[in-house]
Structure 1
Amino acid sequence: MPDNAGSNVSDVGGVESACHASFPSFHALLLQELEALFAGAVVSPAIAARYLIAAARAVACTTPPGLAVAHRAAVLPTGPLACLAEVSVPPPGALDACLMALAPVLEQVPASRGVNALEGAETLHPWACAVWDLLPSTARILASGGDERLDGQAGNGLNRYGVGSLPRPEVLAFASSTASDPSARGFASARAARLALVRALAHDWPDKEAMAATVSAATLEVKAFLADFFGADSPDHVILAASGTDCAMAATAMCALRGSPVTIVLPGAEETGSGVPQAACGRHFAIRSAHGMTVEKDAVVEGFSAQTACVPVAVREADGTPRQSRDVLADCTAQIEQAIRLGRRVLLYVLDVSKTGLVMPDAAGVEALCQRFPGQIDVLVDGCQARFLPEEAGAFLRRGWAVMVTGSKFYAGPPFCGALLLPQHWRQRLSGENEGARVAEAAAARADDMAEGLPAALPTGLGDYAWRAEWPAAPVAACLPEGFNAGLFLRWRGACAEMAAFTATPVQERQHRLDLFLSGVAEVLTACPMVRLLASAQREHWTWEESILTFLVLAPSAREADHVRPAVLDMDRSRRLHRWLQADLSAYVPDGPGAIALRALVAVPCHVGQPVALPCEQAQGGIAGALRIAASARHVTAEEADAATETAVHIQAVVQVLRKLVFVLDHWESIAARDPVPCAASVFPLLRLSGGGRTTGP
């Protein structure tokens, strides 16, 4: 990594003496950020001053929250620059002091030589007040704009799903069914979007309307990409949301616009997002909203009806095997019939796919239900895993079904980023079109319910989760506040880069790579004596819905046990195994032949899908924790090597994951005694050389 060894402190105006010495240095990162902002253009002193403060704040806020100092490559600055890392904007005098310390650095940026940034100090503070929250580093912003699921844990900076907001190429990652660290491609795209946004906001000031237009255009850009990618009618048929769970809340808000109390029929509630049943009922599903508001979990969000009901429908039998689709549909039908008899409107979820790859109920049966109860059922496809071809989403929309998608599951973009795609009649509902028909349809049966305050517009409490620009332009969305979720924007920009790379790979090549990958993974899972694959591995062609391979893990004692049905890990032990696979376990390898190679193998973080609770008689308490290895867009996107070569590398990585898993089972007691935590990024990627010889920045 480059350092500032040998640099002359006097040449940089005391920047190094104004902050704690670090590696890579504050100065090196500052220059890199400035060069990216200037992009070779000559600017005025006022713009140069803004670039200086923006670049220095990004470097000061380089490290994501929770990452221990030992893992940091750039520690927080001290002296006059320390205030740049604060949440609040420094007072004018402190900001002026920062500018004086930083201004001489411009002599080292070719485009800014001869520009006196101090002449731009007059407007610096009011500009900083307007944009302060948009100036931290890419990694810091990626971890913002969501509920506490985004928060990094103390020590390693990883969230509760075992991922962070920085690329970790050293991880053997097969956890797209849960979450993924951003790739170098996704992170670079998010960084480029942040730089472009900061550059534009620096030029827009003091025209506040122009600044508002800039952030609105950024949101529209993402919505336009998603509309084109998934086949929605227009960007105005896309709602952006901070997660798939937030999408569920938005869908219920739209369904409730019809006036009747709502019953949600939810197949596979245990195999969708854990907060979906609450969000679908218009209840807070976390203790913090996407806008950072402290809320009471499970309390009704202001403006939603407490009469909203969620009815789960099982998709697995008591022994854990999947139910027949016709049986799931029959249970859904019974619940729908009962709800309609009570004068309630129905929101029926279609899982495509669940956490373990199930599709329930079948589309033909759902279509028949819609024809049987015209105008009384809204259908919502839970496609948050996005394990279907993009054009299939468009086919759902043409049926009149809304679709929830994310960019952070199959497409392995930064978590969390969700979108609700609207069919035409849902979009018309927002605009109040066909209002007379809606009122007639509601009928006298709901008169008392309306008197009790069922929503006739979007719930006001939705404003704690969504900004107005994230929704289509419509009168009912006027209750949503103006604002901009920079974290959501950057996460989607990272995901869009992955999606674009996926579609750039020819369809036949993608299918070929998927077949090779899943067949190879199924083969090695079947061959491993300590796991039990929960699907048939005998097939030549795989569908995208089948791209999650779910397996049970035998208990540590199973190897010695002499019985036909050995015990499998329950949820508690599966959670511990999942966590330990991500830890450096080299300290647990005893001395002896092969110890060096084994230590290297078990030191590598391995990330698989989090355990899913499945009924299983062989598990303690009757509930097993099933782990998952999933294909992602990264595994089927063509890179430099041919399909066979690249897939062989992925399969070998799965073999390493399983060898580490067996090691954990063999040394369970000694590992459990110390309970190691997942690894943070072993090399901070700010100045890591990329394949093109270029570097990434904050």
Structure 2
Amino acid sequence: MLSHGLEESFGRLIASGCDQRLIPGVDGLNPYGASILPRRAISLGSCSCSSPTDRATQAARRALDLLRRSSNVDHTVAKTQEGARKTLRETFEIAPEIDIALTPSGTDLEMLAVALVAGKDDRELVNVIVGPREVGSGTCNAASIRHYSTRLPRGGKATPGSAINDALAARVTLHQVDIRDQHGEILLPLEIDGAVTDIVIDAVSRGARVLVHTVAHSKTGIHAPTLPLMERLTQTIGNDFVGIVDAAQGRVAREAYQTALDRGWMVSFTGSKFFGGPPFAGALFVPPHLSPATTGLDQLPAGFEDYFSRRDLPESWFPVGLAEDWNNVGSVLRWAAATAEIKAYFGVDRTTRNKIAKAFAQAVHDCFDILPNVQLVKEFVCHDADGILPGIVLSPTVFSFEVTDDAGDRLDRDALKRLHKTLNTEIDGMRFHLGQPVMIGQNRAVLRVALGAPLVVDVARERSLGDSLDDRIGWMHNMLEQLSHQVQRLATSADIKQPS
């Protein structure tokens, strides 16, 4: 979106500068069931994305007003995005020497990470994606320097799967490491670590550089591979090994980001998962040894100008240049909204945040464990406290569940999509927006109920939900109970299992 397009409506602008996933259908909802504007629904889909709150929308509208009144839009965009970086840096205690690049989504930052690691030579880069089914749907294409959507952030068209830059794409060899077996059961950490190790040893032995993703909370809450493995590979292999922590869900503790960066790993983050900003808003945290200012990288690959705006990148990266210059107004608005949500969440004290999260987890089990047609999927548990990065709260925040019909047969992904859509439509005066269905095995699909930051803030502060915190926690429990009744009732509906 060029700066002279500021006369467009707020709704069109906040959905600009990203890919096809943001575009609402005739029902006003994107493919995940979320809106670009505030919507009256119980938001339990932060593991996918959420409709923005009034608070987020107001922040984005203020940012747009600044742009519209500006006599120098380029300068105002740069200043606004620097404000977003400052919020991230201060909130997550990111050291001043760390670069923060803002990206249209968590998917796009994958290609930026590859470019930084690949550098200026022509060596092979082996890129290892762990848990490919449980990270973003476009991740593998983006990590291979291939288009993942028909719509480019800059507004053009693309063919998914085609190379963004032929030379860089030819250098990338992608490996995928599963975190569940074919039946959907979580693999042992030893098995996952072993698979990653084998790939790394093979790659390094033939002279390749290696980029390994460790997912810090997948779509269903899994962390893999283990941090001790990542540390050993970093120490043993040195410069030919680079780690990146996929913290796109935003569900790790605020101190965890710098912990990873101190080990020399990049960190990916979004403001549009746990924190509930409007979809999408990505960020890549880059340690000094990978910064273009250190490596001497003086140019991003041709084709990247369709994804990244100069003013979304750190000022120290300006020498890397972009073939053409544009302002991603949509990214500016979405990050303004996301930072408002981040500030609101951390404005609630830690004790209250943990109390709400614990109550949410207990309520999910209380309400879903007793249902004959619903089975909660076993949660990921790490028995080694040093094996993973700590969570943003002390309790799980994402719960996956299967649904069966009266014959005991699991509903497949298509049926769960219909259930997801039906729950997101007003029934008895309520709508429930859940995390979209995810495949966890060859023939197993789950829906997800997720706690997000906006719900934590509402339960902590919103007096219309109850006079006291305990009253508001009671409201949350009642809301989950009503959801569980709706799921149980719809589980046996002929229209859900087999549409007319």
Using structure 2 for the length normalisation, give the TM-score.
Answer: 0.91
Q: Distance in 1 between matches of 2:214 and 2:308?
A: 24
Out of 150, 162, 170, which is 2:33 matched to? 162
- Partner amino acid, structure 2, of 1:142: I
Q: Which moved more, 1:483-492 or 1:641-650?
A: 641-650
CA deviations on 1:472-528 (whole Å, 9 max, x unpaired) are: 233552135322111111111111111001111111221111111111112211122
Shift of 1:276: 0.3
Corresponding residue number in structure 2 for 1:15: none
**Partner SS for 1:414:** coil
Q: Distance in 2 between matches of 1:137 and 1:225?
A: 27
- Kept after mapping to 2: 8 A contact 1:353/1:545: no
Out of 196, 206, 209, which is 2:66 matched to? 196
More strand by share: 2
- Kept after mapping to 2: 8 A contact 1:142/1:165: yes
Out of 323, 339, 343, which is 2:187 matched to? 323
- Partner amino acid, structure 1, of 2:85: K
Corresponding residue number in structure 2 for 1:557: 406
- Kept after mapping to 1: 8 A contact 2:415/2:498: no
Corresponding residue number in structure 1 for 2:304: 462
- Kept after mapping to 1: 8 A contact 2:184/2:444: no
- Kept after mapping to 2: 8 A contact 1:252/1:280: yes
**Partner SS for 1:469:** helix
Out of 218, 222, 225, which is 2:87 matched to? 225
Corresponding residue number in structure 1 for 2:229: 365
Corresponding residue number in structure 1 for 2:43: 173
Q: Does 1:547 align with 2:379?
A: no
Shift of 1:672: 5.4
Corresponding residue number in structure 2 for 1:142: 14
Out of 363, 376, 384, which is 1:520 matched to? 363
- Partner amino acid, structure 2, of 1:234: P
Q: Distance in 1 between matches of 2:394 and 2:332?
A: 27
Query: Unaligned stretches of 5+ in structure 2?
Result: 382-389
Q: Does 1:628 align with 2:445?
A: no
Q: Does 1:639 align with 2:437?
A: no
Using structure 1 for the length normalisation, give the TM-score.
Answer: 0.66
- Kept after mapping to 1: 8 A contact 2:420/2:433: yes
Instruction: State the structure with more CA Rg.
Output: 1
**Partner SS for 1:557:** coil
Corresponding residue number in structure 2 for 1:579: 421
- Partner amino acid, structure 1, of 2:81: T
More helix by share: 1
Q: Which moved more, 1:255-264 or 1:467-476?
A: 467-476
Corresponding residue number in structure 2 for 1:49: none
- Kept after mapping to 1: 8 A contact 2:357/2:395: no
Q: Distance in 2 between matches of 1:545 and 1:314?
A: 25
Corresponding residue number in structure 2 for 1:8: none
Q: Distance in 2 between matches of 1:163 and 1:670?
A: 20
Shift of 1:356: 0.3
After the TM superposition, list the runs of 4 or more consecutive aligned residues in structure 1 that deviate by more than 6 angstroms.
Answer: none
Corresponding residue number in structure 1 for 2:136: 273
**Partner SS for 1:390:** coil
Call closer, same or farther: CA 1:669–1:502 in 2, change over 3 Å: closer
Q: Distance in 2 between matches of 1:295 and 1:536?
A: 38
- Partner amino acid, structure 1, of 2:61: R
**Partner SS for 2:36:** coil
Q: Distance in 1 between matches of 2:318 and 2:273?
A: 33
**Partner SS for 1:608:** strand
Call closer, same or farther: CA 1:537–1:222 in 2, change over 3 Å: closer
Call closer, same or farther: CA 1:194–1:321 in 2, change over 3 Å: same
- Kept after mapping to 1: 8 A contact 2:305/2:324: yes
Corresponding residue number in structure 2 for 1:391: 255
Shift of 1:535: 2.6
Call closer, same or farther: CA 1:242–1:492 in 2, change over 3 Å: same
Corresponding residue number in structure 2 for 1:504: 347
Please report the RMSD computed on the Cα atoms of aligned residues, expressed in angstroms: 2.4
Q: Distance in 2 between matches of 1:468 and 1:186?
A: 25
- Kept after mapping to 2: 8 A contact 1:139/1:166: yes
Q: Which moved more, 1:310-319 or 1:331-340?
A: 310-319
Out of 248, 251, 261, which is 2:113 matched to? 251
- Kept after mapping to 2: 8 A contact 1:387/1:545: no
Corresponding residue number in structure 2 for 1:19: none
- Kept after mapping to 2: 8 A contact 1:143/1:487: yes
Q: Does 1:133 align with 2:5?
A: yes
Call closer, same or farther: CA 1:236–1:489 in 2, change over 3 Å: farther
- Kept after mapping to 2: 8 A contact 1:223/1:235: no
- Partner amino acid, structure 2, of 1:612: V
